[in-house]
Amino acid sequence: MAGFLRAHGYDPGPTQRPLLAGGISGALAAVPATAILYLLGALQVEAQILGMSNLQTIAAGLPFMAVAGAIYARLFGRAANSASSGWLFGMTYGFLLWAGGAVLLLPAVSGGLAPAGAPAVGVFLSLVLWGGVLGLALPVVHRPLRGRLEDAAAASASGPAAATDARASRRMGDQVFRAQEP
């Protein structure tokens, strides 16, 4: 199955930078998500549960959301970079983060405390909104970060230079083969 997906463009190519684009998009998507948290009172509740101020909670959450964005971009590959369906993949990913983080992880690290009522709805909506914005932003952020195909072909790790180098390693599937010297 993995070989089929690779053959049909699932994996990012040598000119793509999905981790950087995902990290930037994840941090950008945290802005509207934080607004939802604030408006529904979830930010204050999360800060109390974690024993932090609102600003400390935002400062701690921003790098987590950037890393989560990078993981999203790598996990979904080229599908995450789709302008037509990225928002849906993002919302699904946001839902999974809500289920794994707010529902399972937060109570486990806080001694059983979790938001309830409107703040709980705020946490859910913020993560689903975060995912949707992440999915919409990723293709826009990724476009200027892509390298040119000519630059990648000129690099020694790919393109004609790698094909003619007898000592170059080539990655095929999950195995690395070394070219035999004549």
pLDDT of residue 182: 47
The confidence score (pLDDT) of residue 164 equals 57
The reply to whether 168 falls in a domain is no
Tell me: the pLDDT tens digits for 36-91?
999 999 999 999 998 999 999 999 999 999 999 999 998 888 788 888 888 999 99
Burial class (CB in 10 A: 0-12, 13-18, 19+), 79: middle
Q: Is residue 169 part of a domain?
A: no
Structural domain that includes position 101: 16-143
Residue 69 belongs to some domain of the structure: yes
Residue 109 has pLDDT above 70, yes or no: yes
Secondary structure (3-state) at 23: helix
Query: Is residue 167 one of the residues assigned to a domain?
Result: no
CA-to-CA dists, residue 74 to 16, 44, 144, 148, 153, angstroms? 11, 32, 18, 20, 22
Total number of domains in the chain: 1
